Amino acid sequence: MPPAGTVIQASSANSQGTLIPAGSTNPQTVYLTLPGITDSVVFNLSTLIASGGNTVTVTVNGYSQSGYAWLLLASSAIATVTNGTYLAIGPGLPVTASAPIFAANNAVPYTMQIVVAVAGIVSYGIDYEVC
């Protein structure tokens, strides 16, 4: 089970929300539960302010109830965002592996673990949408 206080639950398909609020500056790990949802999930790195080689890297893992995490999709180190950078996971999606779109043709698990690594001084935020 994910640690208490770090879980956000998507209510239904076509739902959206804030995963990590804009203005965040520290590395974070959060969990998104998707009960009964098998469609695509899109994560939007909605804001990123970085300079001088400072970056954010986003990794999306599946996460089991016993605490096992497995890789679904990882971005490269992102230094700038122009009109958003997207990470999308869902069955039938075309696979892409370069900014501004990272996508994986994968089943959507019940729980996703989103890990954000920060190198240097940055300000960022991440929203999600279930499509």
| Token reading at 57 | 């890297």
Is CATH 3.40.50 the right assignment for the domain spanning 19-130?
no
Domain ranges within the chain, ordered by starting residue: 19-130
| Cα 67 to Cα 1, 2, 10, 89, 93, distances in angstroms | 6, 7, 20, 20, 27
For residues 4 and 83, what is the distance between their CA atoms, to the nearest angstrom?
33
DSSP structure class, residue 94: P
Provide the pLDDT confidence category of residue 1 given band limits of 50, 70 and 90.
Answer: low
For residues 111 and 57, what is the distance between their CA atoms, to the nearest angstrom?
20
Q: Is the predicted pLDDT of residue 92 greater than 70, yes or no?
A: yes
For residues 110 and 23, what is the distance between their CA atoms, to the nearest angstrom?
28
pLDDT digits (tens, 9 = 90+) for 17-56: 888 998 899 999 999 988 877 778 888 887 677 678 888 8
Question: With contact defined as beta carbons under 8 Å apart, do 101 and 78 qualify?
Answer: no
